[in-house]
Chain A
Amino acid sequence: MRIDAGGKQCPIPVIMAKKELEAGEQDVEIIVDGQTQIDNLKRLGDALGRPATSEPCGEKFLVKFANGETKVGAVVAEAGSYAVFFNTDAIGTNQSELGRNLAKMAIFTLSEADHIPSYVLFMNEGVKLVTGVEPQIVENLNTLIEKGSKVLVCGTCLNFYGLKEELKVGTVSNMYDILGAMQEVTKVIKL
């Protein structure tokens, strides 16, 4: 079946595709506008055991999911794995200069740690941390990515704050992947 998600922003195409894949539909194809949607759909495909490929289709793109059985249910957490969640651009809720400096130091400390987080997640005002205002944060997160962490940034939030073009590090992501990451690890640390 073919889904037309042209003109739809994330996470709508992911929601549309997920619904069909989980219903066991085969030959699932979806038309989307751009790379962000393609990347999100590919991650969805990998997570569900139905890997996706993409090809240009006129001015848009066609993402095709492999046929087969859709994986449902739990992902087994790696022992001791953890995710760090930033939902503000500071540690603490008073948005102070101190809080922002603490956040910066926390990311530095994580980048130096022996036991790195599986995920570093940014949502709501947390996305302001990854827009390059603080080059130190970008550098430290890139170190973490090199060491194997995944950095997921809420696309809805970047969009809301008009920061989509400013993203300097990490992968534009969505509620499914961010909540999925939290469920995949054994503990989530909210800073």
Chain B
Amino acid sequence: MDEYYLLTFESTHAAISTEKLLKPAEVTIMPVPRFISASCGISVRIRPDMRETAEAIFAADSKLTTDDYTYYHVIRNRASGETQCDKLDYIG
């Protein structure tokens, strides 16, 4: 079972700057999964145990507005390939 939080973005620059901003929360980047569509292909993945840290940094320091990104909670069953993907409220 794979569980993570995911930020997708309207622009590549927003994705790259967010990844840099959230480095202390040990985020990783990945291509936007096929089950989500977005205009930019880079997404930032947050481990569940780092969710609070990442959200705190994002709320305090990100200049992005709610038009710039979308926030998801993803649970994926590797064995069955079944994926649950919920859109979350904006951060902050």
Interface residues, chain A, CB within 8 Å of chain B?
97-98, 101, 104-105, 108-109, 135-136, 139
Contact = CB atoms under 8 A, between A and B. Distances in A.
A105 B31 contact: yes
B52 interface: no
B29 A98 contact: no
B26 A101 contact: no
B16 A108 contact: no
Interface SS majority for chain A: helix
Contacts of A97: 16
A104 B29 contact: yes
Interface in B57-89: none
Given A105-B42, A108-B29, A135-B26, 4 more contacts: A97-B16, A101-B16, A101-B29, A109-B30
Contacts of B31: 105, 108-109
Contacts of A139: 28
Nearest to A108: B30
B4 to A, nearest CB: 12
A139 B26 CA distance: 12
A97 B30 CA distance: 15
Nearest to B32: A105
B28 A136 contact: yes
